[in-house]
Copies of this chain bind each other. A is one copy, B any other.
Amino acid sequence: MNTRVAVPLPKAYLLLNHGPTVLVSSAHGGRRNVMAAAWNMALDFDPPKVAVVIDKATLTRELVEASGEFVLSVPARQQAALTLAVGTRSGREIDKFLTVGADATPASMVGAPLIEGCLAWLECRVIPEPHIQQTYDLFLGQVVAAWADPAAFSNGRWHFPDRQRHSIHYQAGGSFFATGETFEA
């Protein structure tokens, strides 16, 4: 596991504020999975909450509904191929931890694993809202622990150390944007 340090919960929203694509990991009853989600956002500051779309067809959906937990991991550019692979293959067909290079490490507060090599991690408990889960595939979560690679995020700010350790933003068709230069308005 790469180095990680705790992010104070009131700062956890900063890990998602710039709109990166994330990995959603889950575990229940001896099964686990990971998928990609461009459709995610922060929902509140403190206690921090997040929103993420999890399609009914996915194994992730089954595991998140059964466990009431998930982890969002923020992948780095060097993990773009992994992000695409876990976003296009189904956990019903393959074990993505064995076949596409996703490595898991235990989280601190939830059963879903952290994905190794990422830039940041948000451990989440589902806030049960059955109507919007069923109608829109929309899941809300409370962040119960947050972590970051201190080389990429510290003191409430991102500072990507090199080109391969920028966060990424999915477009379509296997194409991403890297998070670009920082500037003051």
Contacts and interface: CB of A to CB of B under 8 A. Distances in A.
Interface in A88-107: none
Interface in A16-58: 17-21, 38-44, 49, 51, 53
8 smallest A-B Cβ distances: which pairs?
Answer: A19-B19, A180-B180, A18-B169, A178-B180, A80-B185, A84-B185, A41-B41, A81-B185
A177 B51 contact: no
Given A43-B39, A81-B185, A185-B83, A49 B180 contact: no
A179 interface: yes
Interface in A164-182: 166, 169-172, 174-182
Interface residues of A, number: 48
B184 A174 contact: yes
A132 interface: yes
Nearest to A51: B51
6 contacts: A19-B41, A38-B42, A41-B53, A136-B140, A157-B171, A157-B172
A31 B51 CA distance: 31
Contact of A14 (B18, B41, B157, B171): B171
A161 interface: no
A70 interface: no
Contact of A41 (B17, B39, B131, B183): B39
Nearest to A156: B172
A9 interface: no
A144 interface: no
A174 B182 contact: no
B180 A185 contact: no
Contacts of A181: 177-178, 180
A170 to B, nearest CB: 6
